[in-house]
Amino acid sequence: MARYPEYGNASYSFGPGAPSPAIKSLIIANVAVFLVTMVVPAIMVRLGVVPRAVFEDLAIYQLVTYLFVHGDVMHLLFNMLSLWMFGTELERTWGTRFFTKYYFVTGIGAALVTLLWSVSPLPYADSLYHSVMIGASGACYGVLLAYGMHFPRRTIFLLIFPIQAKYYVIIAGALVFNSSLGAGSSGVAHTAHLGGLVVGYFYLTTLRGGGPLKELKYRWLKWRMARARSKFGVYSGGRNQTDDDWKSVWKKHIH
């Protein structure tokens, strides 16, 4: 993958360098589980997400275990390659703890989207209900989305064409959405990919403290502080409290 820094002179490199701690652990775990499934192939059905088993047998553990199961070497290779290429820099930026949390949130979220789809009136829901979903693709799509949001100007090569990361994510999302509406067993994977994108975007823009919730928290804190000042007779001196002042206090509060 060739890429550019956000500012300054352009530079090229293949990949982000050595895997960061969480990426390394995830790759090792995925390879280890793949080797086990080669010896005992039947275990794939137990560890993969089967909506029928989750709803009827309460096999909740499958929402996590399916992330470590892959059907063949190429499936494993492409997922681990994308995880390394896009996840390493995110982990260095976010820290290992938050990156790991985000990875599993998007992975489990992708499985939940598939479960909801399987009991909905949407296309091929009935066949999806009895299908087996395996692979880390949902979480990897969530990582790709986060990369595009945090490093939108980085250049990614789509086949031989250079494209900025933000546009790559948009194209990938559009293709996955279109594929998820098609018929056939391939819908299992596409539904997971779409779920990873949707859950990742929702988590980063809303649940993590951004979007409308962040504004509501800011307004609530501002109201609380104004009420406390009025109650205890505290008045500002020298100049009026502006929105910038409140935002400064708000930033200190949330950090």
Confirm whether 148 is domain-assigned: yes
How many Cβ atoms are within 10 Å of 107's Cβ, its own excluded? Answer: 29
Q: Which residues contact 70 (CB under 8 A, 6 or more apart)?
A: 30, 33, 34, 37, 76, 79, 134, 135, 136
User: Which amino acid belongs to residue 60?
Assistant: I
Crossing angle for the helix pair 137-150 and 165-180, to the nearest 10 degrees: 150
Same domain, 30 and 153: yes
Confirm whether 12 is domain-assigned: no
Compute the average pLDDT of residues 124-143. Answer: 89
Range of the domain at 218: 214-254
Same domain, 203 and 218: no
Rounded-to-integer distance, Cα 19 and Cα 21, Å:
7
Confirm whether 181 is domain-assigned: yes
Lowest mean pLDDT, pick from 49-63, 95-109, 189-203: 189-203
Same domain, 109 and 58: yes
Same domain, 241 and 133: no
Residue 249 has pLDDT above 60, yes or no: no
Rounded-to-integer distance, Cα 205 and Cα 203, Å:
6
Domain count, the chain: 2
Confirm whether 15 is domain-assigned: no
Rounded-to-integer distance, Cα 128 and Cα 207, Å:
29
CATH code (residue 115)? 1.20.1540.10
Residue 235 has pLDDT above 60, yes or no: no
Q: For the segment 28-78, what is each residue's pLDDT rounded down to a tens digit?
A: 999 999 999 999 999 999 999 999 999 999 999 999 999 999 988 998 998
pLDDT value at position 143?
94
Within a 13 Å sphere around the CA of 83, how many CA atoms are in the beta-carbon half?
32
Q: pTM (2 decimals)?
A: 0.73
Compute the average pLDDT of residues 228-235. Answer: 63
Q: Which residues of 75-98 are buried (b: 16+ CB within 10 A; e: fewer)?
A: bbeebbebbbbbbbbbbeebeeee
Same domain, 197 and 220: no
